[in-house]
Structure 1
Amino acid sequence: MPLTDMPLDELRAYRPELTEPDDFDDFWSGTLGAARAATAAPAEYRPVPGARLTAVEVYDVRFPGWDGQPVAAWLLLPRAPGPLPAVVTYQGYSGGRGLPEEHLLWSAAGYAHLVVDSRGQGHETPDPDPARSPQWVGGFMTRGITSPAEYYYRRLMTDCVRAVDALRAHPAVDADRIVVHGGSQGGGLALATAGLAGDAVAAALVDVPFLCHYRRGADIASAGPYPELVQYLGVHQRVDPARVFGTLGYFDGVHFAPRAHAPALFSVGLMDPVCPPSTVFAAYNRYAGEKDITVWEFGDHAGGRASQAVTQLDWLAGRGLGTRG
Structure 2
Amino acid sequence: MTSFAHDYPFDPAYGYTLDALKSVPAPPAPDDFAAFWRERYAAARAVATDPVIGALVEERDGVRVHEVAYTSVGGVRLGGWLVLPDGPVRHGFVVGHGYGGRAEPGRDVPLPLPASAAILPCVRGMGTRGLVAGIPDVADGHVLHGIGARDTYVIGDCVADLWCAASALGELVPETAGKGLGYVGESFGGGLGALALPWDERFAAVQLTVPTFGNHPLRLTLPCAGSGESVRGHHAAHPEVTEVLRYFDAATAATFLERPTLVAAALFDPAVPPPGQFAVYNALAGERELLVSAAGHFVHRGLLDDLAALDAARREFFAKWL
d(CA) in 1 for partners of 2:289, 2:113: 25
1:49 Cα shift? 4.3
d(CA) in 1 for partners of 2:312, 2:43: 39
**Aligned to 2:35, what secondary structure does the other structure show?**
helix
**Aligned to 1:274, what secondary structure does the other structure show?**
coil
Alignment partner, residue 142 of structure 1: 144
Question: Is structure 2 residue 225 aligned with structure 1 residue 218?
Answer: no
Q: Which amino acid aligns with 2:180?
A: R
d(CA) in 2 for partners of 1:232, 1:50: 40
The 3 A distance-change label for structure 1 pair 138 and 277 is: closer
Which of the residues 195, 199, 221 maps onto 1:196? Answer: 199
The 3 A distance-change label for structure 1 pair 127 and 245 is: farther
Alignment partner, residue 176 of structure 1: 179
Which of the residues 106, 116, 124 maps onto 1:111? Answer: 116
Question: Is structure 2 residue 11 aligned with structure 1 residue 8?
Answer: no
Residues 289-317 of structure 1, C-alpha deviations (whole Å, 9 max, x = no match): 10011012x22335832320111101222
1:127 Cα shift? 2.9
Alignment partner, residue 87 of structure 1: 93
Question: Is structure 2 residue 271 aligned with structure 1 residue 266?
Answer: no
**Aligned to 1:88, what secondary structure does the other structure show?**
strand
Alignment partner, residue 156 of structure 1: 158
Alignment partner, residue 99 of structure 1: 104
Contact in 1 for aligned 2:210/2:296 (Cα 8 Å):
no
The 3 A distance-change label for structure 1 pair 203 and 272 is: same
Q: After TM superposition, list the pairs within 5 Å mapping 1:1-325 onto structure 2.
A: 1=4, 3-15=13-25, 18-37=27-46, 39-46=47-54, 48-49=55-56, 51=58, 53=60, 55-82=62-89, 84-96=90-102, 98-100=103-105, 103-106=108-111, 109-128=114-133, 138-169=140-171, 170-173=173-176, 175-197=178-200, 199-234=201-236, 237=237, 239=238, 241=239, 243-296=240-293, 298-301=294-297, 304-319=306-321, 321=322
Report which structure shows greater RCO (CA 8 Å, sep ≥6). 2
**Aligned to 1:150, what secondary structure does the other structure show?**
coil
d(CA) in 1 for partners of 2:123, 2:57: 25
Contact in 2 for aligned 1:78/1:108 (Cα 8 Å):
no
1:63 Cα shift? 2.0
1:56 Cα shift? 2.0
d(CA) in 2 for partners of 1:74, 1:123: 12
What is the Cα-based RMSD across aligned positions, in Å? 2.5
The 3 A distance-change label for structure 1 pair 221 and 168 is: farther
Alignment partner, residue 7 of structure 2: none
Q: Which amino acid aligns with 1:29?
A: R
**TM-score normalised by L of structure 2:** 0.85
Q: Please, which runs of 5 or more residues in structure 2 have no aligned partner?
A: 5-10
Residues 191-213 of structure 1, C-alpha deviations (whole Å, 9 max, x = no match): 2222121x211100010001111
Q: Please, which runs of 5 or more residues in structure 1 have no aligned partner?
A: none
**Aligned to 2:174, what secondary structure does the other structure show?**
coil
Residues 212-232 of structure 1, C-alpha deviations (whole Å, 9 max, x = no match): 112222211421111102222
Which structure 1 residue ranges, 4+ long, deviate > 6 Å from structure 2? none
Q: Which amino acid aligns with 1:260?
A: L
d(CA) in 2 for partners of 1:91, 1:125: 11
Instruction: Using the TM superposition, name which of 159-168 and 121-130 deviates more.
Output: 121-130
**TM-score normalised by L of structure 1:** 0.85
Contact in 1 for aligned 2:163/2:196 (Cα 8 Å):
yes
**Alignment length (residue pairs):** 304
d(CA) in 2 for partners of 1:94, 1:137: 6
d(CA) in 2 for partners of 1:12, 1:215: 17
d(CA) in 2 for partners of 1:306, 1:280: 20
Residues 161-198 of structure 1, C-alpha deviations (whole Å, 9 max, x = no match): 2212222332242532311111110111122222121x
Contact in 2 for aligned 1:40/1:68 (Cα 8 Å):
no
**Aligned to 2:144, what secondary structure does the other structure show?**
coil
The 3 A distance-change label for structure 1 pair 233 and 260 is: closer
d(CA) in 1 for partners of 2:64, 2:110: 14
d(CA) in 2 for partners of 1:285, 1:108: 26
Residues 3-44 of structure 1, C-alpha deviations (whole Å, 9 max, x = no match): 33421112222225x24222222222222333333x345322
d(CA) in 1 for partners of 2:193, 2:269: 19
d(CA) in 2 for partners of 1:176, 1:150: 32
d(CA) in 2 for partners of 1:50, 1:138: 30
d(CA) in 2 for partners of 1:93, 1:41: 24
